[in-house]
Amino acid sequence: MYIDSHCHINFPELAARMPAILGKMEENKVTHALCVSCDLPTFPDILQIAEQYPHIYASVGVHPDYEDTPEPTVDDLIRLANSPRIVAIGETGLDYYRLEGDLEWQRERFRTHIRASRATGKPLIIHTRAASEDTIRIMREEGAGTDAGGAAGVMHCFTESLEVARAAMEMGFYISFSGIVTFKSARDLQAVAREVPLEYMLIETDSPYLAPVPFRGKMNEPGLVRHVAEYIATLKNVPLEQVAQQTTENFFRLFKIAH
C-alpha cells in the first residue's frame, strides 16, 4: 500500500472528478491521502472532504505564494486545527522563486504557522523554494523541531540540497519526494533521494501538479504516487515493498494516526 502525503484534491479540476480519483487510488493500492490547505476561504471544502472520506486527512494553513488572501493568526490556526481530521499545520514556508520584493510578510506568516504547530502539537508541512537558508534559520529560531520541543513535520516536494535535507532531518523533519524526482533533468535531486534514509522519507503527488514519469505534463492525482515509490525503489536498489511499507509507517507516525 501507498500513501499520498500531499495533494490538493479540493482544487476544482480534481474535486469535480472525485469518484474517478478515489477509484484510481484503489486501483493503485493508494490507501490514504492528505489534502493540504492553501488558504482560509477554501478550508471548509477541505474539512468537508476529510469528514466525508475516512481515508482522506486534511491540514490547515496558508500557502506562502498566496499574497492577496486573509492572513491567519496563531489563534485562527489553533481553532481551525481543532478536529481529529486535521492532522497538520500548513502548507507554510518560504518561496522566493515565485514572488519578489519585500517578503517579510511571508516570513511572518511562516512564524505564525510554526507557533500554531507548537501550540497544537500538530506537525508542519513546509514548502521551501529558493529560500532554504531563511527557511532553516526560521525553523530553528521558532523551535520547529522535535529537539526544540516542537512537533516537527515534513519538507514537502523537496528539491533542495542534501545539506538542507540533513539540517531538516536533524530537527526531526521528514523529507517528501514528489514526481519531480522521476524527471530526467532531476539528477541532483535523485542523488539527494539516494542519500536520504527511507526512515525519513515520505512520498507525495502535490497533485494536480507535477505528474510523475510516464504521465509528465498530464493532470496529476493521488493514485499516481505509486510511480514515485517505484522510481525511488529503483534509485535506491531496494524492493518496492520496502519503500511502500516504510513510507506508509512514516506517514502514520508523523501525523499520529492510529491504524
Sign of CA dihedral 157, 68, 9, 43: positive
Report the nearest approach of Zn ion to the CB of residue 239 (Å). Answer: 29
Report the nearest approach of Zn ion to the CB of residue 184 (Å). Answer: 22
14 contacts 221 by C-beta, under 8 angstroms: yes
Q: For Zn ion, give the closer residue by CB, 35 or 148.
A: 35
Report the nearest approach of Zn ion to the CB of residue 178 (Å). Answer: 9
> Closest by alpha carbon to 7, among 251, 187, 256, 241?
251
Report the nearest approach of Zn ion to the CB of residue 187 (Å). Answer: 22
**Binding footprint of Zn ion on the chain (CB under 5 A):** 127, 206
Q: For Zn ion, give the closer residue by CB, 160 or 206.
A: 206
Q: How far apart, in whole angstroms, are the C-alpha atoms of residue 87 and residue 73?
A: 18
SS3 171: coil
**E-strand spans in 100-241?**
124-129, 153-155, 174-177, 201-203
Q: For Zn ion, give the closer residue by CB, 39 or 76.
A: 39
Report the nearest approach of Zn ion to the CB of residue 223 (Å). Answer: 17
Q: How far apart, in whole angstroms, are the C-alpha atoms of residue 243 and residue 258?
A: 20
Terminal CA-to-CA distance of the chain, rounded, Å?
A: 13
Q: For Zn ion, give the closer residue by CB, 113 or 127.
A: 127
- Give Cα 87 to chain centroid, integer Å: 12
Sheet holding 2-7, edge to edge: 2-7, 30-35, 56-60, 86-95, 124-129, 153-155, 174-177, 201-203
Report the nearest approach of Zn ion to the CB of residue 204 (Å). Answer: 8
Q: For Zn ion, give the closer residue by CB, 115 or 127.
A: 127
Report the nearest approach of Zn ion to the CB of residue 156 (Å). Answer: 6
Q: For Zn ion, give the closer residue by CB, 183 or 233.
A: 183
SS3 249: helix
Phi/psi region, residue 36 (left: phi>0; alpha: psi -120 to 50; beta: rest), is beta
Q: For Zn ion, give the closer residue by CB, 142 or 206.
A: 206
Nearest-CB residue to Zn ion? 127
152 contacts 200 by C-beta, under 8 angstroms: no
